[in-house]
Every structure is written in C-alpha cells, then in structure tokens.
Structure 1
Amino acid sequence: MAAAPVSKKQVQALGTEGWSKWSSLQDDLVRRIAGSFLASNDLDHYMCLRAVCPSWRSATDDPKDNASNPVFHPLRWIILDEVFQGDDDMRILLNTHTGRFLHKKLPLLREYYVVATTPSGFFVLADRTPPHTARVFNPLTGCLTCFPWSVPLEAGVAQVGHDDGLFYLYFLGDSSRKIYIGFPEVKYFVSRDCQQLAYNAVRDAVLGGAYPQHISVPALVDAFADLFDFMRSHSDFFNFFLSDLPGDTENNIRFRCYVVGLPAQVFLHVEREGRTPIVFKMNTETGKIEPVKSVGTFTIFIGCHRCLTVDADKFPAIEANCVYYTQHLGSSAQICKYNLSDKKVERLSEVAEFVKEDKQFVLVAARPFTIIQLLCSYTINRRDSELALQQMVQGAEQSCSNFVDGDLDG
C-alpha cells in the first residue's frame, strides 16, 4: 500500500517542531559544543553556532565583547596568498592542525592597506588616510581592534601577542633592527633597538610561528648562542658556514635559522648543493641543544621567508618526519623533501615548480595545486606592505613632479 503524500504544511510543521527542540537545547550542552570548536581553533564554526538562534547566542560568549581574550584568537591558521583570480576579497585560510581549508570573502580588506599577515592568522591593517593608524583584523570572528598610533613604514613582519590579559601588537623593522610594540589603550608605541643576534632570533622565531606562544626572547638568544657554540665545536661544519652561501643577498643572509612552531625546537636550514637541513632540539634538562632524528608525526616546511609545521596525520599527501624545502635555481625554484630518519633527499619534480616574477615566486605547476605546493608557496613568498608600496609610489610621483617643475622653471 503506497504511503500518503506529505503536504507542504506538514513538512513546515515538522521543520518548525524539530527546530523548536534544537533551540531549546540546554545551555551547558550548547557550551560544550561551542567549546569543542574553540579547542580546535575553528572559530568560524563557533561564530556560525552563535548565529543559529538567540538562545544559543545567549548561552555563549561574544568575541566582540572581549576581542583580547586569546581563546578567540586564530592560533593555528595561515593565510595563503594563492587567491582566486579576479576576486581580491577572497582569501584561502588553512588550519595547520586540523587540515581544514576555509574560503572566505573579506570585503573589509578593501577599506584598509594590508600591512602584513601574522603566522597565526591575523591581518594587520593601516588606515588609508593619514596618519595611517594600525588595525588588527580577525578574519574568523570579524573583530577589528584599533590601535591609536601610526604603522611604522619599515614594518613588514608583524605578530599579535597576549600576556596576563594584555593584547598587544608588534612589528619588526629589518632596516633598523627595531622592534615596535603597542597596545590598544596607549596612544604611542615603544620601539627598541636590538643587537643583530637578538633581532635575528626574534625575527626567525616570529616567522617560524613559535613566538610568543612557545619561547621567550632570552631563551631564544641563549638557544642561538648554544647553536653557534655547537657549530664552533665542529670545525668543518663551522668553516662551511663561513663560506659564501647563496640566499637573500639583499639582506646579506647566508643561512637561515628558524624556531619552528613546536616547543623548544630550533630548525637550521641551509640552501647549498649537497647539504641537507638539520633539526636541533632543546634539551630541557641540560639547557643545551642537540641534533634530533625525529619530530614525530609533524612535518616542517621551510622557505626563504617563512617556516611552519603541520601535523602530517591530518594531511594524507604529506609524509611525516620530513622537511620540505625549496631549492633555488636562479630565477626558478624546485621543491625537495628531506627525510629525517634515513637522511635521504628527494626532488618532487624533475622541473621547477616556481618561476620568479618580480619579487614573487609563482607556481607554474598545473592546477589544481597540491597541498605541498601551496605550503611551499607560503614559505617562499611574503607580500610587501601595501602602505609601504603606496608611500613609494607617492614619493616617486612627487619626485617626478618636482623634476618636471624644475625643468620648466629652467
């Protein structure tokens, strides 16, 4: 016997009845579900849960009421620069601990200059009108924190920190070796000059995603001092570093040290034919560093600009306990994989995956790109500050105008 057809009114009644049951879910259960999203740092899911109904919204905390609370900060996200062609509002975000991609439209970015993106997933912005005050934008919660001071023009590396309930923003200036620190409640920032070793330690820790979550500045300096002591105790190893190495000739970088996003690990990467990456780990009992052969289920990605770690269990295409790095071939670059266990190096392709265009290395591999290619693109490239670029354009236009005026006067 055939079942009687269900009318549209009956479907609507069932939907309304089912919805009323969900909306009456006990507050403690709603908070437990919300807490699971916060535990995995899936803040966008948390915001969607709060948008379901008024009762769920009232049962959970609003990030906009306390934007400085670190529980509402992106901690494990990176912002990939491989944006959709023709849509400047679209960004691709990746949770490196869960392997989840998020395609998100961010029209707010059109209202500001993008100065930098942090290794944790914040956008650092500047007002388009002078004095170009700083803003920190959380793309997962939509929170925009205002800082009442101007962004330093030389700033290209930035990070957000929190300490004892204080929310702060700091920039690194490569040309002056200054660290700029500012708070939302203070109308000026504090700048501090650093010696080269200390500045390099902080910079490489920030770009590796480890500072300020995992290690303090004094510990960084001590770790790098131990690293150089280790090198000096191995004369062949140390003499190798004294030779001319390819790298970032503009900044006179001959080799790269990163404090990666794993507790107390120092990663040393060298780009030279016949040489392989080396991973050091801090021995917490002796306070010394020592080479290691395993980073467990994690994998390290290293480039000339940034470093990051991912949990290989969440990325089936990525091999655990390996280092993926880019080997430069003049105007191109290729991806290599170094296995920490057997110390073998493998090139992933016979042809180069990147071609240099202006200052960026562009993927030339066929779409869709693999996750390994995307993560290597993230480490090999770093966008310039839009504010600094705009200032350069205005300066060039002013120089040209002065030249023309002077020529006419003459």
Structure 2
Amino acid sequence: MASQSIMLSLGSKKRVCRRPRGRSSSTTAGRPDWRLLPDNVIVLIGDRFLADNDLDYYIDFRAACATWRRATDDPKRHGGADPRFQPKAWAVQKHFGSPHLNRVVSMVNLKTCRLVTREIPLLGNYRYINATDAGLLVLWDGGMPPWQPCRALVLNPLTGSMAFFSVPIFAEGIRAVAVNTSPLMLFASNLFDFLGWADLDSQDFEEHRVRYPDLLANMKLFAGDIYVVNWSGSIFSTASDAIVADEGAQPQQRSAEMIRMNPTTIHAASWLREGHPHYYLVESAGELLLVTRSTAGGQAALVHKVDTVNKVLEPMVSIGSRAIFINKVRSFSVDANMFPAVEGGCIYFVETLANLFHHGIIASSVRLADQRQEDIMQFGFQGQFGPPTLVEVLADHCRYTPEHELEHYYGWNWDDDEI
C-alpha cells in the first residue's frame, strides 16, 4: 500500500519513514534511507566537521534534512559566543574592485588546506576594515567621509552571526583587529602608537598609547589575551590574574574597563636588538612564538618561544614540520604536510605590495635550520602564466592590502560591466 509505513528499529529508538505516494515498495528496496541514521551517528558526523572547523560543511550537513537538524545543535540558537561555531584558523582575503567583487572573500582553512570562496551580500552595505587571524570580519556601518567614526560590526562569514558594537571606530588607520569571544571584546590597533579595546556596549575604546621609540610592531590574540611586541622587542599583554569580588567568590568576567596592558617580557636582550630587527608574534602548534629578523644583511632569523607564565624567552632551533607566514599585520603557521609546495621548517617573510608590484617578490623564505634564504617570485612575473600558486594564495591572505593601495599600485578603474 502506498501509505504503508516501514518501522525500523535503531537500537532502543524507532523511526518512521513514509514512502512517497504513488511508488511501489520495489522502487526503494535495498536503497538505504540516510535520513534514518541513529542520532549518535549524526552527532559524530557533525562533530567531525566542527573538529576541522569546517563550519560551512556543518551548516550544509544540517540543511540536508529535518532529521539531521533535530539531532545537531543550531549555531544561531547557541549564539555567536559558542566557541564550537567560531572560525579558529581561517585566513581571509577580501576581494576589491567592482560592486560584485566587493562582496566576495576567499578563505583558506589553515588546518586542512581547503580553499573557499564566498559571496557575502552584507559586504555591499558595510565597509570592510580587516579580518582577524581566526577569520572573523570586522566591518563598519558606512559613513562618509571615511574619517567619520561609525560603529563596528563583527561578522562570522561561515555562519552569518553578527555582533554590533556601540563603540565608534575609524576605518582609516586601523591595520590590525582581533576579537575575543569569551567575553565578546573587540581589539583594534594602528600598529604604531594606539591599541584600543571595547565591549559590546562600550561608548569609547579603552586605550593603550605609546611613544617613540616604543611604538607597536605586532599584535596577536593568544589564549584569550592580546599580546603586542614593540620596536624594542618588549612584549606586553592583557594577561592577568582572575579578578575576584570578595574572598571565596567566583572570579568575575572581565570587562573592557578591567583590562590593562601588563609587561610580559621587558626589552629583548641586546644581541636580539642588533641590526635594527623587526619583531613578530605568531601562534604555532598552540605556542606563542617571537620571530626576530634583522634588517642588516648576514644576520640570522631567530625564533623564541614566549613563556607567558615565567615571562621569559626560550630559544628554538627547529619548528618541525610547521611553516610560518609572517607580515606586520597578520602571521600564522601551517603544517607543511597538509600544504603541497610549502616547505616545513621555513619562515616566509611576506613582502609588501610595493615589492610584489615592482620586483615580483612574494616572500623571502628562510629555512631555520641552516638560514638558507630564497626569494619566492610571483608566478607570471617573469613571463610565466597560470593560476596562482599555493604560496601566493597564503601570502595574499597574510598581506594586508587596503583598497586604496590596490588602486594606487595597479591603477584599477573598475567598471562593473567588465566583470
């Protein structure tokens, strides 16, 4: 009978699958109905996607059928602060140009080497400031002229979750951003003399300002705290002991007003400051590293582990199979075993847009073990043509390239009809 129901026993539970009307039982005989998977199997599949931070796969998986949606957690229902549904290791490249391209971002999963290109209509209504190291987008709600401060918006490009901050933010001049999700807090810096942070309801940024020669060189969110290194090689952070209201009471959740920048290491040793070096902070395999590169020829690139508890630097002679991509604004590391054409044990110092445009140099690769250095040339710069290499893609994600710089170097005059 067309309306007959088939009862399937799945452990201690029973599910009912209705046959479509007008079809005989022979049309579905021997064909599994994947909607009837046990709940624990459905949850395990979803958890596998979340373990790799493939949030888009998880959302597509839930969209397949109502049974799978009921068995798994809804990212929107659990709010934007649930760490399971936050991007953790996605490098983001914002496209610029025509109105269509302005709504497009490319993202690389730094754990699995998966490239995703997404069109986000919301980018047509908001101005782009930058992306966090994890992959969140920090926007502002328009405003002309560009120097007019407008409120900030944090967007999860994989789930669509949004958080509006009350604090006004200047889009021009902000070069690095970070978002701590527990509690939700926005950090922004011009990587010069200003670092600010704010809660959702903050009316103004709490500020940390510095003067020459201790200007800010690099910023990194690590283990829920912000770490910055200055031109002298000193590291400061928001790390501090938990704040307790009364003796025996539970620690209070930190707010923007409670946070202060505290010394983590005081001034790098004199031998670390030889040759007017540049300092970079990067997280690699769960550790915070300080990378030092001298501007003088013949000086070695150095890597130190930052012991955030004892506030000391521990020298490292190897980074194993990891490869580190470094730029003043964004730095990250990947497992070279997962990324073809990326050499493990190497540090890729990503060049500026000016060097790329004039000399075709994407990055200078330094192998930590023997300090062998090699310039990675842009594919096509010397007469070769084809799709971008993986190193080019990662370097582009690492390099901060605001729209006005692209227009300056390439002289782009976009016409939407040409795209």
TM-score, structure 1 as length reference: 0.72
Distance 2:174 2:195 in 1: 9
Task: State the Cα deviation string for residues 159-216 of structure 1 (Å, max 9, x = none).
Answer: 11023xx222222245651413122xx2524422333599866x6232xx64646968
Cα 1:365–1:337, aligned 2, differ >3 Å: closer, same or farther? farther
1:133 equivalent in alignment to 2:151: yes
Give the alignment partner of residue 316 of structure 1, picking from 334, 340, 346: 340
Conserved 8 A contact 2:265-2:312: no
Task: State the Cα deviation string for residues 110-161 of structure 1 (Å, max 9, x = none).
Answer: 0111122111111111223587322111111111222233323443321110
Distance 1:80 1:173 in 2: 19
1:68 equivalent in alignment to 2:61: no
1:295 equivalent in alignment to 2:314: no
Q: Which amino acid aligns with 1:113?
A: R
Equivalence for 2:398: 379
1:23 CA drift (Å): 1.2
Equivalence for 1:193: 208
Q: Which moved more, 1:371-380 or 1:112-121?
A: 371-380
Equivalence for 1:118: 132
Equivalence for 1:268: 292
Cα 1:28–1:172, aligned 2, differ >3 Å: closer, same or farther? same
Cα 1:336–1:73, aligned 2, differ >3 Å: closer, same or farther? same
Equivalence for 1:155: 174
- What SS does structure 1 have at the residue aligned with 2:117? strand
1:49 CA drift (Å): 1.0
1:381 CA drift (Å): 3.1
Distance 1:279 1:36 in 2: 33
Q: Residues 323-338 of structure 1: matches in 2 within 5 Å?
A: 323-326=347-350, 331-332=358-359, 334=361, 335-338=363-366
Q: Which moved more, 1:89-98 or 1:8-17?
A: 8-17
Query: Which residues of structure 1 form unaligned runs of 5+?
Result: 1-7, 242-254, 356-362, 387-410
Cα 1:222–1:161, aligned 2, differ >3 Å: closer, same or farther? same
1:49 equivalent in alignment to 2:49: no
Equivalence for 1:240: 275
Distance 2:310 2:105 in 1: 44
Alignment RMSD: 3.7
Equivalence for 1:145: 163
Q: Which amino acid aligns with 1:145?
A: A
Q: Relative to total residues, which structure has the larger strand share, 1 or 2?
A: 2
Cα 1:102–1:368, aligned 2, differ >3 Å: closer, same or farther? same
Q: Which amino acid aligns with 1:367?
A: G
Cα 1:381–1:158, aligned 2, differ >3 Å: closer, same or farther? closer
Conserved 8 A contact 1:276-1:345: no
TM-score, structure 2 as length reference: 0.70
Equivalence for 2:106: 92
Cα 1:60–1:276, aligned 2, differ >3 Å: closer, same or farther? same
- What SS does structure 1 have at the residue aligned with 2:275? helix
Equivalence for 2:13: none
Q: Residues 394-409 of structure 1: matches in 2 within 5 Å?
A: none
Q: Residues 159-174 of structure 1: matches in 2 within 5 Å?
A: 159-163=178-182, 166-174=183-191
Conserved 8 A contact 1:177-1:194: yes
Q: Which amino acid aligns with 2:321?
A: T
- What SS does structure 2 have at the residue aligned with 1:98? coil
Cα 1:365–1:63, aligned 2, differ >3 Å: closer, same or farther? farther
1:27 CA drift (Å): 1.6
1:283 CA drift (Å): 5.2
Cα 1:121–1:11, aligned 2, differ >3 Å: closer, same or farther? farther
Distance 2:97 2:29 in 1: 37
Equivalence for 2:371: 343
Conserved 8 A contact 1:325-1:336: yes
1:324 CA drift (Å): 1.4
Distance 1:90 1:51 in 2: 23
Task: State the Cα deviation string for residues 305-333 of structure 1 (Å, max 9, x = none).
Answer: 33221111110211101111245786435
Query: Which residues of structure 2 form unaligned runs of 5+?
Result: 1-21, 228-235, 240-260, 406-419
Conserved 8 A contact 2:43-2:71: yes
Equivalence for 2:44: 32
Q: Which moved more, 1:363-372 or 1:152-161?
A: 363-372
Distance 1:364 1:149 in 2: 49
Q: Relative to total residues, which structure has the larger helix share, 1 or 2?
A: 1
Q: Which moved more, 1:269-278 or 1:93-102?
A: 269-278
Task: State the Cα deviation string for residues 263-288 of structure 1 (Å, max 9, x = none).
Answer: 13111233444334221123579642
